[in-house]
Amino acid sequence: MTPAQRLRAKTQKAKNLMKVNVSASSKTILPMTEISSSFPLMKQALDSIRSLLSGKNEQEKIAIKKEKIPEFLPYLENYQASGRNYKNPVLVWITLWLFDIGDVDQAMTYATLAIEQDQLPPSNFSSPLVDMYVRGLVTWAEKKFKANDSAEPYLSQVGELIASQQWPVNELILASRVYSKLAMYAEREERWDDCIRWCTLTMNINPDGHGQKTRLDKARTKLGIKPT
């Protein structure tokens, strides 16, 4: 399922949830009329947590984010279901934090929403929002690869989004990192056609520092294609 399809499915799920109480968390999904009025409170809570994170080390930051993120999820579900679109730093920041803590399923859902809505990156960041989310995804994927775990379906989804220009990245090195990691997974799993494709894409956008020639030659040899 693509990120857009996942977004539509979760939007419908959220709309259904708006009719009932969420008994598991003892929280009530807000009616659409209350979404805007809840935003100032969510923004205030976000700013407080950002202040709390200041000066903390990475491990402490992750622990705080894991503890605090669930407080924002009912609001984001309502915002998603409402179909509304306004400048929403809560959406932008919580999505970044979801990548940070490794909750990539929800991170991709809200990243797709934020990008579709042309949300703006935080003012203290110089990178476009797409680049920030791709960086979060590929950093997570690189850790998964080292741990010999799968990064699917999310890594392939982002690779296709970048390749198709649906998620146009400003920093080409980010695209190179995504393509390279996909090539490495394909090599590990002996998917040689895919390996050739991702190696080639990496080389096209990073001709001087791609590091893919040996991998590409190996894939071609496995398929009976003479290496160049």
Residue 139 in contact with residue 100, Cβ under 8 Å? no
So where are the chain's domains? 1-125, 128-228
Q: What is the pLDDT of residues 37-92, one digit of tens each?
A: 589 999 999 999 999 999 999 999 999 999 999 999 999 999 999 999 999 999 99
Full-model pTM: 0.83
CA atoms 36, 166, 15, 23: torsion sign: negative
pLDDT computed for residue 209 by the predictor = 77
pLDDT of residue 227: 73
Write the CATH number of the domain with boundaries 128-228. 1.25.40
Per residue in 171-223, pLDDT tens? 999 999 999 999 999 999 999 999 999 999 999 998 887 789 999 999 999 99
